[in-house]
Structure 1
Amino acid sequence: MTSSVSDTPKPIVRPLQYRDLEAIKALAAERCEAENVKYSVAPSRDIQRARPWHGLGKLLNFLPFPYRAGWRIYVAEYQRQILGLIQVSPFNSSRSTWRVERILLNTNVSQLESLKSRKEIGSQLLRYCLENIWEARTWVLEVNINEKDNLALYRENGFQPLAQMTYWAIAPELLTQLAEQQPDLPNLLPVSNADAQLLYQLDCVSMPPLLRQVFDRHIKDFKTSLWQTVLAKCQQWLKRAETVEGYVFEPQRKAAIGYFQLELHQNRSRLDRAKLTVHPAYTWLYHQLMVQMAHIMQEYQPQALELASADYQSEREEYLEKLGAERIEQTLLMSRSVWHKLKETKPLEGLQLSEVFQGLKPVRTPIPSRISWLKPISRSYQTKLKQQELFNSQANKHQPTAEEKNSTESSETPSNGHHA
């Protein structure tokens, strides 16, 4: 007898466990060799870091919000075999926006040989995160424009294009030429928590309103706690990296008009990365900030610098093309919103009449008493008698008595005799 469709076991999605790390590490290494991911951290490195810190991450989840681990990994399992994984992380400090870091599918198993089955597992992983992470109101992700299958998967699950990103590589020779110039930045200041308000205003004015609404950043996103500072120092020590940042202050407007962050790696296998934020009215700062970063990089072994630009930053793209930077990758930034419905504690279809009437029962047991049908009749009869007595009393007041009549008649009789 053939089993029905409902009896067929389906893959389950669950959080990452320690026993999954070996399988996921192999899956991530295969994906990393097949595709050169430049816009995010290599998956294999993330998994390798997750192994020794897995227990600590579990412990941090029980601590208050500032001390929790950021990323989460969920796996799809079928008959003790890992079919795929999804990695997500909060995008802002309020955790209202979350980011899909990556989705990896195991194409070596027989269940994922067809494109349809891969889309089903990918959609199941996405839906699990959309439905179970309640604090997320908006989801964002970044995907390479050449990954047609992933683009189709995200579109089928409601993600819409938000912006197109272009990643550039600036050769060490160009950086050496820029370092020969002197930057004209008299108001270049180091970044501290006291400057969070200025950096927040600069971030808001440098992007379109739709992106500002999706990212939902606040002043807290530009502050660094003591715990985050210690954690960042540990990560830099492990990755053998160093971060340098600064911003340009405009004294007349009392506002920040430019910001840069430079991540330098001593490991030559990774590119140095730079992040630039420039006020739209001060686009001439692009060149000055590039010269400043080139000076900083000369203190280390110079290598190619990676920089990103968006399609709404036309001045930045024009400057990078004029500078001679090379386009290395184009990605699509996508987003979707989520509205979580409140689930009923009990389905209405299963309610019995006795349970419905449960709330209509009296608070205490009623006390029986005699019911007299003559009471309302006697009350109405007494009311009528009172009204009749009141009416008679008022009528008697206006009617003259017998003595009053006799006195009036006696006064009228003598006057008549006198005239006779």
Structure 2
Amino acid sequence: MAPSPTPPKSPVVRPLQYRDLEALEQLWHQWHPPDPAHGEDATRLQWIQRWYWPLTAMHWFPHPWQLVNHIYVAEYGAEQQGKAGQGLQGMIQVAPFNHGRSTWRIDQVLATGGVGFNGGLSLAGEAGSQLLRHCLEKIWEARTWIVDADVNDKEHLALYRQNGFQPLAQVTRWLLRPEVLQGLAEREMAVPNLLPVNNADAYLLYQLDTVSMPPLLRQVFDRHVADFQTSVLDGLVQQGQNWFSPYVSVRKYVFEPQRKAAIGSFHLCLSKTGSQPHKAKLTVHPAYTFLYPQLLNHMAQLTQAYPPQGLCLKSADYQPEREAFLEQVQADRLDHVLLMSRSVWHKLREQKGVSLEGLQLSEVLQGLQPSHNPVPGRFVPHSRRELWYAMPEQKTSPPQPPSSGDPE
């Protein structure tokens, strides 16, 4: 009788190490062939390889340093047992999404496998699910996970749905071409009460962010005032990034003096070299949608000081006014992304080593020592209004009253 085949071993999930970078680069090129459209992703991978040791050292710094520019990431690699450093099967990169670290995001998942739906690699195998389950179980502070998945990427969509992720909203990425930006910049349209963002405005920005999204997204993102504040160390790092990085960051908001509230804001990242498009994050109060042309006009004017390049902007399916305006100015739709989330409830850990058998009641109730005699269990009234007490341990009955024939 032929022996039964040995079942394959499950992938072992562990933190990524320096010796895995070469295999990770090969795995990356399997999923991202050389393409000018993925130049930014390739640059990110080279940046991780170049600054691997400083990024590892950042894990020992205080909490604010771990959140600067998404430097604090938890990267896990899954590999076959017995093939350390050679049989890399997958990689996942995650990072905290908010300051309270109650919501985490999945930046990317790469895994080897068979042929998928469109003739590509398959992510729905054991390696991809094992990587996701490892993060969901080991990162205890995360109560909610979010991820962006391309609507045309059936492999990633299948992986996330198999592991309990549900869709929240559909996000469209738009591109305003250089000629569109030039046309918007030529319009004379001033924005009243446009102010630079600082820490004193954190509460106003928090209120604007809260009112600009549906309640379900508000609960998932779980943002607080601290998410809109910048510490001294963060400010120094951002200033250094403006000097050495290919982007310049500009943040402004519109103040409504009558309501004393912020009704619109934007965060614009301007490309200094022109090799990458400009990026913008725009937030507008639902009752002040007339700010869209004014804010886009101001951002277009800021882009004219740099080499001609397009501007990338996002809109969600719950923002119909923004999508209508972008269609009106003839912006191009780049892709559609499905925002998905999943909640995680961790079981309470049991504390072992405590024996209840040898635990005495006096040790539990140390402060409850008797200060007087115990309270009697019952009482018997007497005709002379004297109380006779019968303790629980006494078996005798109270004395009988004298009969009418006995002398008093």
Q: Into which bin does the TM-score normalised by the smaller protein fall?
A: 0.7 to 0.9
Calculate the aligned-residue CA RMSD, in Å.
Answer: 3.0
Shift of 1:118: 4.7
Identity of aligned residues (%): 49
Q: Secondary structure at the match of 1:307?
A: strand
2:26 match: secondary structure: helix
- For residue 406 of structure 2, the aligned residue among 392, 396, 399 is 396
Show the counterpart of 1:31: 31
Query: More displaced, 179-188 or 235-244?
Result: 235-244
Residue of structure 2 equivalent to 1:319? 325
1:66 counterpart residue number: 64
Q: Deviations over 1:221-255 (max 9, x none)?
A: 00011111222233344432101111111111111
1:92 aligned partner, one-letter code: N
Q: 2: distance between equivalents of 1:251 and 1:362?
A: 65
Summarize the Cα distance change of 1:4–1:223 in structure 2 as closer, same or farther, 3 Å threshold.
same
CA contact (8 A) 1:14 1:74 kept: yes
* SS class of match (1:212): helix
The CA distance in 2 between the partners of 1:145 and 1:297, in whole Å, is 30
| Offset, 1:23 | 1.7
Task: Measure, in 1, the Cα distance between the counterparts of 2:399 and 2:238.
Answer: 94
SS at 1:51's partner residue? helix
The 5-angstrom pairing of residues 58-97 of structure 1 reads 58-68=56-66, 69-78=71-80, 79-80=83-84, 81-97=87-103
Residue 399 (structure 2) aligned to one of 387, 392, 400 = 387
Q: 1:36 to 1:106 in 2, by over 3 A?
A: farther
Deviation at 1:345, TM superposition (A): 4.6
Cα separation, partners in 2 of 1:295 and 1:343, compared to 1, 3 Å: same
- Asked which structure has the greater CA Rg, the reply is 1
Residue 362 to residue 204, structure 1, CA distance change in 2 (3 Å) = closer
CA contact (8 A) 1:168 1:326 kept: yes
Tell me which residue corresponds to 1:257. Answer: 263
What is the Cα deviation at residue 359 of structure 1?
4.2
User: Within 5 A, what are the aligned runs for 1:305-316?
Assistant: 305-316=311-322
Aligned twin of 1:18? 18
Work out whether residues 16 and 73 of structure 1, in 8 Å CA contact, stay in contact via their aligned partners in 2: yes
Cα distance in 1, alignment partners of residues 253 and 122 from structure 2: 49
Structure number with the higher helix fraction is: 1
* 163 and 114 in structure 1: CA distance in 2 versus 1, 3 angstrom threshold: closer
Letter in 2 for 1:286: Y
AA matched with 2:221: F
Letter of the structure 2 residue corresponding to residue 25 of structure 1:
E
Structure 2 letter corresponding to 1:396: D
Taking structure 2 as the reference length, the TM-score comes to 0.82
Aligned mates of 1:311, 1:117 — CA distance in 2: 27
**Structure 2: runs of 5 or more not aligned:** 364-393
The 1:100–1:175 alpha-carbon spacing in structure 2 relative to 1, beyond 3 Å, is same
1:356, CA displacement in angstroms?
Answer: 6.9
Q: Distance in 2 between matches of 1:44 and 1:193?
A: 34
Does the CA-based 8 Å contact 1:29-1:43 persist in structure 2?
no
- Alignment partner of 1:192 is 2:204: no
- Report the secondary structure of 1:74's partner residue: strand
| 1-structure distance, mates of 2:46, 2:240 | 16
Higher mean C-alpha displacement, 29-38 vs 168-177: 29-38
Please name the residue that 1:229 is paired with: 235
Match of 1:122 in 2: 128
- Structure 1: gaps of 5 or more residues: 364-378, 399-420
What CA distance in whole angstroms lies between the structure 2 residues aligned with 1:189 and 1:132?
42
Change in 2 beyond 3 A, CA 1:395/1:55: farther
The amino acid across from 2:130 in the alignment is Q
Which residue is 2:383 aligned to? none
**Where does residue 172 of structure 1 map in the other structure?**
178
Distance 1:268 1:29, change over 3 A: farther
Distance 1:134 1:297 in 2: 43
Look up the match of 1:282.
288
Aligned counterpart, 2:138 = 132
CA change 1:37–1:157 in 2 (3 A) is farther
**Paired residues for 1:328-343 under 5 Å:** 328-343=334-349
Aligned-pair CA distance for 1:144: 0.4
Shift of 1:5: 5.3
> What code does the residue aligned with 1:133 have?
I
Which residue identity does 1:329 align to in structure 2? D
Look up the match of 1:44.
42
- The letter for the 1-side match of 2:235 is T
User: Can you list the C-alpha shifts for 1:301-351, whole angstroms capped at 9, x where unaligned?
Assistant: 12111110000000000000011000011110000100001233559xxx9
